[in-house]
Amino acid sequence: MFDFSKAAGFIFDCDGTLIDALDAWERAEEALFAQTGPLTQEQEDEIHSAPIERAAETFHERYGVGESTESVLRHLDGHLLPFYGERSAALPGAVEFVRAVAERGIPCVVVSSSPRRYLEAGLVRAGILACFRDLVTTDEVGCSKQEPGIYDRALQVLGTEACRTWAVDDAPYAICAMHRFGLKTICVGERTSPHADIDVVSLAELL
């Protein structure tokens, strides 16, 4: 069980951490990646960590995908907005863990590369949107999850210090960035990270 007395605040990723959305993103992006040719893991991480507008711009301008950046965004919205609002589901233990944090009066935020419109739809459907002080998105802050600015903004919202704030994510590249920033980290899912303070398959293990 997680010792909540250790935490002054929490930063949660959404997709793959709280909401089971990775397959939906993979299906939405399949047609886009099919047009890029083979990419390295580093190149894919750059796209996935970036604000959605920057990712769409990268698809179009660097790899020639779509008629325009706007057409790439329309493609993603057409696949993903209905998914978040109508079909998305919370991952095991996610709702219970977030509610346990909120019930203890520990402030928490979401930090995500997904736009606010996706996050709000998915978190409303999961019944936990009200648990968060705010949703901190890469497109609104203007930097990726590999850059410190997104975590600076999250700490401003929380009013906490990095060393007493726990960050929860399923992506090893994000765990690495959070660790460099000085956050305590929980890596969730099948992939582990040498930079994680705690590795779990699901948040249910911490309850």
Res 13: pLDDT: 98
Q: What is the DSSP string of 35-91?
A: TT----HHHHHHHHHS-HHHHHHIIIIIT--SSSHHHHHHHHHHHHHHIIIII--BP
Lowest mean pLDDT among 37-51, 129-143, 172-186: 37-51
Neighbours of 67 (CB within 10 A): 9
Residue 75: pLDDT above 90? yes
The answer for residues whose C-beta is within 8 angstroms of residue 75's C-beta and 6 or more apart is: 28, 31, 32, 66
In the block, tokens 């000085």 appear at 182
Tell me the whole-structure pTM to 2 decimals.
Answer: 0.89
Amino acid 29: pLDDT: 87
pLDDT value of residue 30 = 87
Q: Which CATH number fits domain 4-20+89-206: 3.40.50.1000, 3.30.470.30, 2.40.420.20, 1.20.140.10?
A: 3.40.50.1000
Could you report the per-residue pLDDT of 86-109, keeping only the tens digit for each? Answer: 999 999 999 999 999 999 999 999
Question: CB under 8 Å to 187, separation ≥6 — which residues?
Answer: 169, 170, 172, 175, 193, 196, 198, 199, 200
Q: What is the domain partition of the chain in residue ranges?
A: 4-20+89-206, 22-87
For residue range 182-205, what is the model confidence (pLDDT) as tens digits?
A: 999 999 998 889 999 999 999 999
Q: 95, 111, 99: which is closest to 166 by C-alpha?
A: 111
Model pLDDT, residue 44 = 87
Residue 72 pLDDT class (50, 70, 90 cuts): very high
| Residue 155: per-residue pLDDT | 98
